[in-house]
Structure 1
Amino acid sequence: MKTYILLGMALLSAHLSFSQTNNAEVFLQIEDRGNFTVYLDNELIGSSKGRFRFYDVDNTSPSLTILQGNRRIFNGRINVRPEQRLVLTYTLRSGLKTIKELKIYRNGQYALNDFDNYTSSYNTGVVPPTIPNGNTGNQFNTLLLLVKKEPFDDGKIKLIQAYTVNSYLSTAQVAILLKNFSQDDKKLFLAKSLAPIISDLQNYYTLKEEFTFLSSKDEFLIFLNDSKSSGRKRGMSATTFEQLKQSVKREAFDDDKTKVIQASIQNSVPSTIQIGELLKLYSFEDKALVCAKMAYNFVSDQQRYFTLKDIFKFRSNQDSLLEFLGQK
Structure 2
Amino acid sequence: MKKIILLALALWSAQLAFAQSNRTKAEVFIEVEDRGAFTVYLDNEFVGSTNGRFRFYDVYNASPTLSIVQGNKKIYSGRINVRPDERIVFSYSIRQGLRQTKELNLYRNRQYALDDFDDYAGAYNTGIVSPTRPGNTNVANFENLAAMVKKEAFDDAKTNVILAYTTNNRLYTDQLATLLQGFTTDDKKLSLAKSLWPLIGDPQQYFSLANSFTFMNTKDEFLNFIKNNPSSRQARGMDVVTFEQLRNQIKRESFDDNKTKLLQVTFQSSALSTAQLAELLKLYSFEDKALACAKLAYPYIADPQRYFTLKDVFTFKSNQDALLDFLRRQQ
Of residues 269, 285, 288, the one that matches 1:286 is 288
C-alpha distance after superposition, 1:44-90 (max 9, x if no partner):
xxxxxxxxxxxxxxxxxxxxxxxxxxxxxxxxxxxxxxxxxxxxxxx
Alpha-carbon displacement from aligned partner over 1:251-301 (angstroms, at most 9, x marks no partner):
111111111111122211111111111100011111111110111111011
Q: Please tell me whether the aligned partners of residues 250 and 262 of structure 2 are also in contact (alpha carbons under 8 angstroms).
A: yes
SS of 1:230's partner is coil
Report the counterpart of residue 157 of structure 1 in structure 2: 159
Q: Tell which deviates more after alignment, 224-233 or 178-187.
A: 224-233
Runs of 4+ in structure 1 deviating by more than 6 angstroms, as ranges, are none
Taking the aligned partners of 1:172 and 1:222, their CA distance within structure 2 comes to: 20
For residues 285 and 268 of structure 1, the distance between their equivalents in structure 2, rounded to whole angstroms, comes to: 24
Provide the C-alpha distance between the structure 2 equivalents of 1:175 and 1:245, rounded to a whole number of angstroms.
19
Aligned length: 198
Distance apart, 1:229 and its partner CA: 2.1
AA aligned to 1:171 is T
Question: d(CA) in 1 for partners of 2:163 and 2:247?
Answer: 32
Counting only pairs closer than 5 Å after superposition, residues 157-196 of structure 1 correspond to structure 2 as 157-196=159-198
Is the 8 Å Cα contact of residues 173 and 209 (structure 2) preserved in structure 1? yes
In structure 2, distance between residues paired with 1:142 and 1:231? 29
Percentage of pairs with the same residue: 55
Q: Deviations over 1:86-112 (max 9, x none)?
A: xxxxxxxxxxxxxxxxxxxxxxxxxxx
Counterpart code for 2:320: Q
In structure 2, which of residues 230, 244, 247 is the aligned counterpart of residue 245 of structure 1?
247
Does the CA contact (< 8 Å) of 2:197 and 2:203 recur in 1? yes
CA-CA distance at 1:130 after TM superposition: 8.6
- Which residue pairs with 2:303 in the alignment? 301
Q: Which residue of 1 aligns with 2:208?
A: 206
Could you say which structure has the greater relative contact order, defined with CA pairs below 8 angstroms and 6 or more residues apart? Answer: 1
Q: Specify every segment of 5 or more residues in structure 1 that has no aligned partner in the other structure, as ranges.
A: 1-128
CA contact (8 A) 2:198 2:231 kept: no
* Residues 6-45 of structure 1: pairs in structure 2 closer than 5 A: none
The CA distance in 1 between the partners of 2:173 and 2:311, in whole Å, is: 35
CA distance in 2 between partners of 1:130 and 1:279 (Å):
31
User: Which one-letter code corresponds to 2:268 in the other structure?
Assistant: Q
Report the TM-score, using the length of structure 2 for normalisation: 0.57
Alignment-derived partner of residue 264 in structure 2? 262
CA RMSD of aligned residues (A): 1.7
Say whether the 8 Å CA contact 2:230–2:268 is kept in structure 1.
Answer: yes
Q: Following the alignment from structure 2 to structure 1, what is the Cα–Cα distance between the partners of residues 231 and 153?
A: 34
Equivalent runs, 1:6-155 vs 2, <5 Å = 135-155=137-157
The separation in 2 between residues aligned to 1:309 and 1:271, in whole angstroms, is 15
Name the SS for the 1:313 alignment partner: coil
| CA gap 1:230/1:325 in 2 versus in 1, 3 angstroms | same
Counterparts of 2:233 and 2:263, CA distance in 1 = 20
**In 1, Cα distance between the equivalents of 2:157 and 2:217?**
24
Letter matched to residue 250 of structure 2: V
Q: Deviations over 1:183-223 (max 9, x none)?
A: 11100000111112211110010000000111111111111
Structure 1 residue identity aligned to 2:205: N
Structure 2 segments unaligned to the other structure (5+ residues): 1-132
